[in-house]
């Protein structure tokens, strides 16, 4: 590359209100990236790249020449909602095939857990009860609904199809396709998929349009005895509506990996609810090295006049 910007490491400021990104990335390295805290920046005007996760509202005010903001994860909602995000900055997210496979394994585990009633077997083990009374439908009789059909959704779908589950996927664009997956598109795609799914897996990005999408109205459209597997963002779900659907018996169970308040308060009802499986936002992860590698690749593409491979559509929000 002849571009002078790339003749030296990319000076990247780490912006997070809740997380020390520099310390977190200490074990990783990429010779193309120099990661610094805001108070370590000598000339804020020289900073053209940021690595961010839940930045403070005014995080970008001190850095007027930011060209690119890289998320440390697949989600970008906290960056897109930051009031000081420069209007002309390109926002990128991590697109990691290995992370997507990790998500697929996690989602499939929960599908099998609920389909084969593993929770009841574990209860029986605790009491020394040898019970074989549970009968499970064949996989082909258990339609799985996916909300979101991006990289994560496609890997989850592929894994489910391999196990014989019928898969329906709600897709905003309807452009993607996959053998064994019925793509449902249009403004009512989410409710149409939910209405046919014995298990509903949420993998949607968080936008204005998807906030609170998992609500009483949607739960009412789901078949009686259906299961929710919530792997998107905590703000997707109205928690009281889920509790009502579970307590009424309309929904049989829920697996929840994300919550409106994280960490989940110790006295929250989800911890002790007999129909809820709680995990601490660990459905999938990416490596620190991969975060820095993709940041450098995306920035290199940007300053070379190309669209970064991890760029998000700022109008769509993902």
Residues 6+ apart with CB under 8 A from 215: 237, 238, 241
Report which of residues 90 and 7 the model is more confident about. Answer: 90
Question: Tell me, what's the pLDDT at 96?
Answer: 97
What is the domain partition of the chain in residue ranges? 4-96+286-303, 97-278
Nearest to 114 by CA among 255, 9, 295, 17: 255
Residue 3 has pLDDT above 70, yes or no: no
Give yes or no: 288 in active site: no
Please check whether residue 236 is in contact with residue 210, taking contact to mean a CB–CB distance below 8 angstroms.
yes
State the average pLDDT over residues 77-88: 97
pLDDT digits (tens, 9 = 90+) for 100-129: 999 999 999 999 999 999 999 999 999 999
**For 254, phi and psi rounded to 5 degrees?**
-150, 140
Fold match, 4-96+286-303 / 97-278: yes
pLDDT digits (tens, 9 = 90+) for 141-151: 999 999 999 99
Give yes or no: 281 in active site: yes
Among candidate residues 113, 172, 233, 236, the one labeled active-site is: 233
Question: Tell me, what's the pLDDT at 29?
Answer: 87
Question: Tell me, what's the pLDDT at 141?
Answer: 98
Helix, coil or strand: residue 203: coil
Among candidate residues 101, 250, 281, 288, the one labeled active-site is: 281
Residue 2 pLDDT grade (very low, low, confident, very high; cuts 50, 70, 90): very low
CB atoms within 10 A of CB 47: 21
4-96+286-303 has which CATH code?
Answer: 3.40.50.720
Question: Tell me, what's the pLDDT at 174?
Answer: 74
Question: Tell me, what's the pLDDT at 6?
Answer: 62
> For the whole model, what pTM was predicted?
0.94
CB atoms within 10 A of CB 62: 15
Question: Tell me, what's the pLDDT at 4?
Answer: 41
State the average pLDDT over residues 259-285: 98
Q: What whole-number percentage of the chain has pLDDT above 90?
A: 93
Question: Tell me, what's the pLDDT at 173?
Answer: 76
Residue 313 has pLDDT above 60, yes or no: yes
- Domain spanning 97-278, CATH architecture: 3-Layer(aba) Sandwich (3.40)
pLDDT digits (tens, 9 = 90+) for 161-218: 999 999 999 998 777 789 999 999 999 999 999 999 999 999 999 999 999 999 999 9
């Amino acid at each position: 590359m002849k571009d002078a910007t790339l003749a030296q490491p990319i000076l990247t400021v780490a912006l997070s209100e809740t997380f020390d990104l520099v310390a977190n990335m200490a074990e990783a390295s990429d010779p193309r990236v120099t990661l610094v805290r805001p108070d370590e920046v000598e000339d804020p005007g020289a900073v053209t790249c940021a690595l961010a996760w839940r930045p403070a509202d005014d995080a970008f005010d001190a850095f007027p020449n930011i060209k690119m903001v890289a998320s440390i994860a697949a989600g970008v909602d906290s960056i897109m909602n930051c009031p000081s995000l420069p209007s002309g900055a390109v926002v990128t997210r991590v697109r990691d095939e290995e992370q997507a496979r990790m998500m697929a394994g996690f989602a499939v585990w929960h599908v099998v857990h609920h389909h084969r009633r593993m929770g009841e077997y574990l209860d029986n083990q605790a009491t020394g009860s040898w019970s074989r009374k549970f009968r499970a439908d064949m996989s082909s009789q258990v339609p799985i609904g996916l909300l979101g059909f991006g990289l994560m959704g496609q890997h989850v779908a592929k894994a489910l199809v391999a196990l014989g589950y019928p898969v329906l996927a709600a897709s905003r664009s309807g452009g993607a396709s996959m053998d064994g997956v019925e793509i449902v598109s249009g403004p009512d795609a989410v409710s149409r998929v939910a209405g046919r799914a014995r298990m509903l897996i949420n993998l949607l990005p968080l936008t204005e349009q998807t906030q609170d999408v998992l609500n009483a109205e949607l739960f009412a459209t789901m078949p009686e005895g259906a299961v929710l597997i919530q792997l998107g963002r905590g703000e997707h779900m109205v928690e009281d509506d889920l509790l009502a659907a579970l307590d009424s018996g309309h929904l049989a169970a829920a697996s929840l990996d994300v919550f409106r308040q994280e960490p989940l308060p110790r006295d929250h009802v989800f911890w002790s609810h007999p129909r809820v499986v709680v995990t601490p936002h660990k459905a999938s992860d990416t490596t620190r090295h991969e975060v820095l590698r993709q940041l450098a690749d995306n920035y290199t593409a940007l300053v070379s006049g190309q669209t970064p491979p991890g760029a998000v559509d700022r109008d769509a929000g993902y």
